[in-house]
Chain A
Amino acid sequence: SQKIEQNSEALNIQEGKTATLTCNYTNYSPAYLQWYRQDPGRGPVFLLLIRENEKEKRKERLKVTFDTTLKQSLFHITASQPADSATYLCALDEQAGTALIFGKGTTLSVSS
């Protein structure tokens, strides 16, 4: 079955730096991969979706890459701010396409 691995340790960076979060999957290559943000006590919020035939997707300060050879997606936040502090979840479609499989997430902490 498909498994998703995200950095288990928290990522601590200084304001203004670029944060890079990793999502690796173990089995089949998904048709789509999604990234969500989750704040404590809240539900996840959708950020970006990237398709298997797209190498890169950007939205404002966010950039996602998708490498099906490495079975990996990277999520970048440039010019990070303390307000970016949250847990970021990677999700991909399960093979039948009925639902998403989520990773445990990586907690990002941006200090000023």
Chain B
Amino acid sequence: EADIYQTPRYLVIGTGKKITLECSQTMGHDKMYWYQQDPGMELHLIHYSYGVNSTEKGDLSSESTVSRIRTEHFPLTLESARPSHTSQYLCASSEGGNNQPQHFGDGTRLSIL
């Protein structure tokens, strides 16, 4: 089993709130990723990181931001949540190098009222 953890698993919150989704991995992986997935749809990459102090935006435009201050920790923040942010957010990590298998957490299901 992969050692990557996401909290909370579920979050229902009102519009305008600031939200931070947590993601931690204990495998020492350099690369970490955030994906957004709606029911029955493909995963869309919204952020990734090659290592500490490295963050990049993915293909899907997102109003969220990320930080990578420690190798094991890659939190995602929404400054002001909106109903359009309702989705499942999946965090993953992989070893350095291209095309390594990704290890996923079980996601945070976010609902903005």
B101→A49 contact, CB < 8 A: yes
What residues of chain B lie closer than 8 Å to A102, measured between beta carbons? 35, 42-43
Cα separation A42 to B2 with both chains bound (whole Å): 13
A45→B99 contact, CB < 8 A: no
Give the number of chain A interface residues (Cβ < 8 Å).
22
B99 interface neighbour in A42, A93, A103, Cβ under 8 Å: A93
Majority DSSP secondary structure for residues of B touching A: loop
Q: What is the interface residue range for chain B against chain A?
A: 20 to 34
> Chain B residue with minimal CB distance to A8?
B40
Cα separation A61 to B94 with both chains bound (whole Å): 25
Q: Which residues of A contact B (CB under 8 A)?
A: 4, 31-32, 34, 41-46, 49, 89, 93-94, 97-100, 102-105
The 5 closest A-B pairs by CB, nearest first: A43-B104, A46-B101, A97-B98, A32-B99, A102-B43
28 contacts between A and B (CB under 8 A): A32-B98, A32-B99, A34-B101, A41-B107, A42-B106, A42-B107, A43-B104, A43-B105, A44-B43, A44-B90, A44-B104, A45-B2, A45-B104, A46-B102, A46-B103, A49-B99, A93-B99, A94-B59, A97-B98, A98-B56, A99-B33, A99-B48, A100-B45, A100-B102, A102-B35, A103-B42, A104-B42, A105-B42
Q: Which residues of B contact A (CB under 8 A)?
A: 2, 33, 35, 40-43, 45, 48, 56, 58-59, 90, 92, 98-99, 101-107, 109
